[in-house]
Structure 1
Amino acid sequence: MQLYHHPFDLDSQKVRLALEEKGIDYTSYHVNPITGKNLDSSFFKMNPSGRLPVFQNGAHIIYNTIDIIKYIERIVEVSSGSQTISSSGRDVIEWMHKIQEWDPKYFSLSHTPEKHRNYVSKFKRQVVIARMADSPELAGAYHEKLREAYQTEEKLKDADVLRRSKEHLIRLLDEAEKQLSKTQHLAGEQFSMADVMFIPILARLVLLGLDSEYITARPNISEYWFMVQKRPSYKKVIGKHFDGWRKHKTLLKTWCFVHIRSLLKRY
């Protein structure tokens, strides 16, 4: 089993948390979307959307985050042969879909310094153009990615788009706050795949420096966040890269790559 992912990517974090929680071994391939590695022709042929994560088990390839997590649960069921292990129930599945409905892209980008955001966006557009020249047989898919990049820049200028994204997030957090006043975890007393889906959102808010507004202001989520950070899966998947000085190391490494390649015009 192989997973194409990156520590920065929210959906990648969800899948990796699921794999760690279920104790499944897999081969890890880092594909950094900020540096444009998800646009390399070898990856693009496998997944023309260029999105992460991608899970491969033999000839079976899955792109959708929830589908990957459900597949992981089925693997555990089959390999264990135990009648006591079952896939996520209705409440868990409902929460998984509810969480996945929020697209973090515009919210995250809107809280990134505009200078850095524009610099990376320009770099990624140059990467698309360079890959298009190298792989003309994929020109149609690369044109779509270029169009998507320009659309993202336009939507970031639209106050309504940003407002809707923020309001969607607040509704999700408020509902989670209400649920966590009744149960220890998001879909009941036991840790589940709903929590696997939710934890990376909280981690993203902390990374953006928004924890006081969105987490601390909600006492139940704040207590929950303190608790889940102690899990070994969190420490391996997220904490390893974004706690303390590691956060600066992770971000600096990527920024240096983009800056050097831009100076040398090597895309």
Structure 2
Amino acid sequence: MAHYLQKILPEKKMQLYHHPLDLDSQRVRISLEEEGVDYTSHHVNPITGKNLDSSFFKMNRRGRVPVFQNGSHIIYNTIDIIQYIERIAVVSSGAESISTSNREVIEWMQRIQDWDPKFFTLAHIPEKYRVYVSKFIRQVVIARMSESPELAGDYHRKLREAYETEEKLKEADVLRRGKEHLVRLLDEVERQLCETPFLAGQDFTMADVMLIPVLARLKLLDLENEYITGRPNIAEYWLLVKQRPSYKRVIGKYFNGWRKHKTLLKTWFLVRIRSLLKRY
């Protein structure tokens, strides 16, 4: 047990590399807020290519956020990070046994994680902006490849991934499958919320932590009426979870009123300026 505690308890203040616009980053941050776990925040904006800087890329060759670091221990998978945070919270509380999310909660977490928001989100962004950012990101990859030739293979994989994304966005089947998957998930959630106030029962759990950013993404894309309002149980649930302090600090802070436009405009401005100056 002592060896386990040594591995779980923070070696020093934990580090989270994330961005407020990123759905999985939101999930991890909400779990940290809900569990009361302290951490140091590092913003890594994938839209401006900060995830491709060699210092971050060496840590995670996929170039994706979030990344969670506790000393020498680094975790990339969102569900793994959340479960690790749960264990930290339990051990830090002085509990003698480790008790975290039950099977039902974990099944819901995985079910929600199985829906990939990438193509769905990109398909709802005006093409001229999407193509502009895609071209910018490809230029960033090429620049970083030149600066760090030892990482050329990994950067080349990211470049290929960017081209493949643009091609897949032209395929109607890819977009249709993403939408159908989302609809099935929301319908299942709607049925569950007819039985219980939260996704896995009477209490708020990590299953809800996984779901909340999906609803926030739909709101951000102005799709609330299409996907949330017409599902009365989800609509009521959405009003409820938006009152939680964790939601307000992680998502509401950035997407309520003028702050939503500030967050998006700041990112777009940085991309435009760096493109004009060719500062990749």
Q: Same fold (TM over 0.5)?
A: yes
Residue equivalent to 2:192 = 179
| 1:256 to partner: Cα distance | 0.3
Gaps in structure 1 of 5+ consecutive residues: none
Residue equivalent to 2:273 = 260
| 1:84 to partner: Cα distance | 8.3
**Contact 2:17/2:43, CA 8 A, preserved across alignment:** yes
- How many angstroms apart in 2 are the aligned matches of 1:85 and 1:193? 16
Residue equivalent to 1:2 = 15
**Contact 2:91/2:98, CA 8 A, preserved across alignment:** no
Q: For structure 1, which segment, 74-83 or 120-129, has the greater mean C-alpha deviation from structure 2 after superposition?
A: 74-83
- How many angstroms apart in 1 are the aligned matches of 2:208 and 2:106? 11
Residue equivalent to 1:220 = 233
- Which of 4, 24, 34 is the matching residue for 2:37? 24
Percent identical residues: 76
For normalisation by structure 1, the TM-score amounts to 0.99
- How many angstroms apart in 2 are the aligned matches of 1:226 and 1:244? 16
Matched letter for residue 279 of structure 2: R
- How many angstroms apart in 1 are the aligned matches of 2:95 and 2:54? 42
Q: Deviations over 1:98-144 (max 9, x none)?
A: 00000000000000000000000000000000000000000000000
| 1:79 to partner: Cα distance | 1.1
| 1:83 to partner: Cα distance | 5.2
Alignment of 1:1-267 (within 5 A): 1-82=14-95, 86-267=99-280
- How many angstroms apart in 1 are the aligned matches of 2:160 and 2:202? 45
| 1:85 to partner: Cα distance | 7.2
- How many angstroms apart in 1 are the aligned matches of 2:243 and 2:91? 29
Q: Deviations over 1:36-80 (max 9, x none)?
A: 000000000000000110000000000000000000011011111
- How many angstroms apart in 2 are the aligned matches of 1:250 and 1:17? 19
Matched letter for residue 213 of structure 1: E
For normalisation by structure 2, the TM-score amounts to 0.94
Q: For structure 1, which segment, 76-85 or 173-182, has the greater mean C-alpha deviation from structure 2 after superposition?
A: 76-85
Gaps in structure 2 of 5+ consecutive residues: 1-13
- How many angstroms apart in 1 are the aligned matches of 2:95 and 2:56? 36
Matched letter for residue 172 of structure 1: L
- How many angstroms apart in 2 are the aligned matches of 1:86 and 1:22? 13
**Contact 2:15/2:70, CA 8 A, preserved across alignment:** yes
- How many angstroms apart in 1 are the aligned matches of 2:106 and 2:124? 30
Matched letter for residue 276 of structure 2: L
Matched letter for residue 217 of structure 2: R
- How many angstroms apart in 2 are the aligned matches of 1:102 and 1:83? 36
- How many angstroms apart in 1 are the aligned matches of 2:100 and 2:113? 18
| Structure-2 change in CA distance of 1:227 and 1:85 (3 Å) | farther
Matched letter for residue 91 of structure 2: V
**4+ runs of 1 displaced by more than 3 Å?**
none
Q: Deviations over 1:179-224 (max 9, x none)?
A: 0000000000100000000000000000000000000010000000
